[in-house]
Structure 1
Amino acid sequence: MRALADFSDDSGAMRFTGDLVLARLGDLPTRLDDYSGAVSVIDLSDVSRIDTIGAWVIHRFAQRTGANIEGLRQEQRALFDQVVNADQPVPTRQQHVSSFNRVLGEVGEATVTAGRTLVGLLGFMGATLAALASVIRHPQRFRFNATVQRFEVVGVSALGIIGLMSFLIGIVIAQQGAVQLRQFGAEVLTINLIGRITLRELGVLMTAIMVAGRSGSAFAAQIGTMKLTEEVDAMRTIGVSPMEALVVPRTIAAVVMMPLLGFYASLVAIIGGGLLCWWQLDIPPVTFVARLREVVPITDLYVGLVKAPVFGAIIAIAGCFQGMQVKGDAEQVGMRTTAAVVQAIFLVIVLDAFFAVFFERIGWI
């Protein structure tokens, strides 16, 4: 039906009928532009259909005459709201913001983001513990093959790079310690430095950083890709819990393998430091080992073994959490993978500082 417009009475009300769509408007926009009378109300209650062009014509006419639009149905009201919002002026140049306000705004935004991420991470940690408890109550849900595969990915495949890194770190610690201690004629104390710092701190800490960069990023990328391809939603559809199937095996693997990798890294670092002491300080391996047994307390080993599983849990949970946050496009996978590594390393260092104070308070020094 062709769109028509007429006055229903002498009160200044204009009533529209028919279809206000592009194909039915005809010369109605021209006649409305030429109209110079007073209009107080535009009645659209008898309009059957209306599209964006029709809504724009009526909106422009109402703006020019100052009339109120009445008789809109719900879907028509939503269309008019979109037309009204699109009519707002668009700034061609960004408003000038002072450097101080811009920096302050970025700091505030980063603080809010960090707070929300921390809250989300704590909630995800609770969900992981709940899923683990559910697996313990129902052992048939435990995915043994997936967990063993993660053991290989997190632990066995990482032995080469962690061993090389730890060996070189042991050599660097021994070389730098020997150079500084030689000034006081105390080169033999290099053995103390190597043994205590590798078993207590650097062995586990550097291993955690390597696992975060290697396995934590892999967890985030794998789960993020599954989110994009809707595999996670498909798992929920068929009644499989993503927390039990994806997060729990990765967390168990990281928790179990981290103490083993930390001990392995400390041992390789001690071997590297011992070889340099043998070559540069003429300390034979037998003397080196005997000295280690005298100066390194067993509590240093306990400290490293206590910290390692906690670091492993943090790395796995951070990686899986960021992977679960992926949405939208493939760019999110890279962003969340980077965030997982940064978040895991940051939390590991913070927890390491906390452990250092805690063990000093209880006398494990």
Structure 2
Amino acid sequence: MPDTRAPGFALDESGEVLRLRLSGDWTVMTIHQVAEGIEALQPARPLQVDVSGLARIDTAGAYLIDKAMRAAPAGSGLEGDHAVARHLLQQVHAVSDPVPPARRPDHGFTALLERTGRGFMNILSELVATLAFLGETLVTTLRLLMNPWKMRWTSVVAVMEEAGLDAMPIIAFLSFFVGLVVAFIGATTLRDFDLEIYTVELIGYSMLREFGVVLTGIVLAGRTNSSFTAQIGTMKMRQEIDAMQTLGLKPMDVLVAPRIIAMVLMTPALAFVATAAGIAGGIVVGWTSLDINPGVFIERLRNNVPVDQFWAGIAKAPVFGFVVSLIACRQGLNVGGSVQSLGHSTTTSVVQALFAIIVLDAMFAVYYMEMGI
């Protein structure tokens, strides 16, 4: 063990400021010799601590010195050069800052305006960050599509199976029962006007144009979106993404682009299955409650519902798939190092995806109305 020098200090009160000159080793093994004297200091003027005479210092010694500086009026500081002392004192001072008292809740009008403004600014910052991530995603995806040999097609196919084929049964199941409900409501309402036969048109327009693709988007937002966010977020927590970057791999190429491409390809297929399942539910109601033969139902549907209604609905599917996967990947990459951060990001991801699907569907509806579709 190296020789230990006893710690010491000298207080110079001759100038406008007090100068505390330190000497010896200020470590956990020695500071008990000067702790009482340092704690007894109650400087009435700013205190300048001269660390040029220090030998060794550790966190315990730095804490004792910082405590003396905190007891002095404003304007206190360090002087002199030391290889470790200044940096260690800065660290101790940073972690020793007192925690501010919790603010009492303010329920006044000013607090309402403050919360409203803060919420609005948070929405704007979130929108700007999402648009920036959208631009980066588009550039990355287009670059990989222009160079298909760089694309990780195995990952794309795996995501298509996990997020597409595995989701098909639940989407078909839900759409079938939604078709049943819409048909029952339509038949009950139209029966009062002796127009039960128009239940066929109601099912055709609603499932082809709206419900098939919207149900697909909602299921993807609740199932696939949360899965993507949790997967990427867990990788972020385990520092796997940092290791990936160390190896020269880009997370946008490896994690984001395959999911984007897989969802854009699979969402139209899922929307088609949802539409067919919803129509099947309507056929069941028409057959059992309205005495409409399935052949008659399908023929009337084919003759009275234009095929452009199918394309109007299916055209939304790639957009919904792109937006859902975009939000999921962005929130996954925003996860911090805690489990709470993962849960918060997953919840935020699902809420944003559901909100985006409803808003986009409304925008499509306005666009189709203006275009006369």
Q: Which category describes the TM-score, using the shorter chain as reference length?
A: 0.7 to 0.9
Report what 1:23 is aligned to. 29
Letter in 2 for 1:223: I
CA contact (8 A) 1:192 1:292 kept: yes
Report what 1:293 is aligned to. 302
Q: Distance in 2 between matches of 1:254 and 1:124?
A: 17
Report what 2:245 is aligned to. 236
Report what 2:218 is aligned to. 209
Q: Number of residue pairs matched?
A: 363
Task: Give how far 1:61 is off.
Answer: 5.2
CA contact (8 A) 1:187 1:281 kept: yes
Match of 1:45 among 36, 42, 52: 52
Task: Give how far 1:43 is off.
Answer: 3.7
Report what 2:6 is aligned to. 2
Report what 1:359 is aligned to. 368
Q: Distance in 1 between matches of 2:345 and 2:164?
A: 23
Match of 2:105 among 86, 97, 100: 97
Letter in 1 for 2:29: A
Which deviates more from structure 2 when the two are superposed, residues 115-124 or residues 265-274? Answer: 115-124
CA contact (8 A) 1:52 1:79 kept: yes
Task: Give how far 1:59 is off.
Answer: 5.3
CA contact (8 A) 2:213 2:274 kept: yes
CA contact (8 A) 1:254 1:312 kept: yes
Task: Give how far 1:228 is off.
Answer: 1.9
Aligned partner of residue 328 in structure 2, secondary structure: helix
> Once the two structures are superposed, what CA deviation does each residue of 1:27-52 show, in whole Å capped at 9, x if it has no partner?
43445677899987654432223445
Q: Distance in 1 between matches of 2:137 and 2:241?
A: 16
> Once the two structures are superposed, what CA deviation does each residue of 1:234-266 show, in whole Å capped at 9, x if it has no partner?
222222222222222211111111111112211
Aligned partner of residue 248 in structure 2, secondary structure: coil
* 1:318 maps onto 2:327 in alignment: yes
Q: Distance in 2 between matches of 1:37 and 1:235?
A: 54
Q: Distance in 2 between matches of 1:308 and 1:42?
A: 68
Task: Give how far 1:350 is off.
Answer: 0.6
Extract unaligned runs of 5+ from structure 2. none
Q: Distance in 1 between matches of 2:58 and 2:350?
A: 50
Q: Distance in 2 between matches of 1:252 and 1:44?
A: 61
Report what 1:249 is aligned to. 258
Aligned partner of residue 282 in structure 1, secondary structure: coil
Q: TM-score, normalised by structure 1?
A: 0.87
The aligned runs of 1:134-153 (5 Å cut-off) are 134-153=143-162
Q: Distance in 1 between matches of 2:320 and 2:150?
A: 26
> Once the two structures are superposed, what CA deviation does each residue of 1:186-243 show, in whole Å capped at 9, x if it has no partner?
2222111111011001110011111121111111111112222222222222222222
Q: Distance in 1 between matches of 2:197 and 2:362?
A: 28
Q: Distance in 2 between matches of 1:109 and 1:180?
A: 47
* 1:218 maps onto 2:224 in alignment: no
Q: Distance in 2 between matches of 1:35 and 1:262?
A: 76
* 1:132 maps onto 2:141 in alignment: yes
Task: Give how far 1:10 is off.
Answer: 5.7
| Superposition RMSD in Å | 3.0
Letter in 2 for 1:163: A
* 1:184 maps onto 2:193 in alignment: yes
Q: Distance in 2 between matches of 1:129 and 1:219?
A: 18
CA contact (8 A) 1:15 1:42 kept: yes
Report what 1:278 is aligned to. 287
Q: Distance in 2 between matches of 1:316 and 1:36?
A: 61
Aligned partner of residue 292 in structure 2, secondary structure: coil
Aligned partner of residue 193 in structure 2, secondary structure: coil
Q: Distance in 1 between matches of 2:283 and 2:204?
A: 10
> Once the two structures are superposed, what CA deviation does each residue of 1:33-81 show, in whole Å capped at 9, x if it has no partner?
7789998765443222344554455555567676955524475345445
Letter in 1 for 2:145: I
CA contact (8 A) 2:205 2:309 kept: yes
Letter in 2 for 1:21: T
Q: Percent identity?
A: 37
Letter in 1 for 2:354: I
* 1:266 maps onto 2:271 in alignment: no
Q: Distance in 1 between matches of 2:360 and 2:77?
A: 63
CA contact (8 A) 2:271 2:317 kept: yes
Which deviates more from structure 2 when the two are superposed, residues 330-339 or residues 245-254? Answer: 330-339
Task: Give how far 1:340 is off.
Answer: 1.6
CA contact (8 A) 1:2 1:18 kept: yes
CA contact (8 A) 1:45 1:70 kept: no
Aligned partner of residue 372 in structure 2, secondary structure: coil
The aligned runs of 1:155-166 (5 Å cut-off) are 155-166=164-175
Match of 1:335 among 323, 336, 344: 344
Letter in 1 for 2:203: I
Q: TM-score, normalised by structure 2?
A: 0.85
Task: Give how far 1:116 is off.
Answer: 2.5
CA contact (8 A) 2:213 2:317 kept: yes
CA contact (8 A) 1:44 1:69 kept: no
Which deviates more from structure 2 when the two are superposed, residues 104-113 or residues 175-184? Answer: 104-113
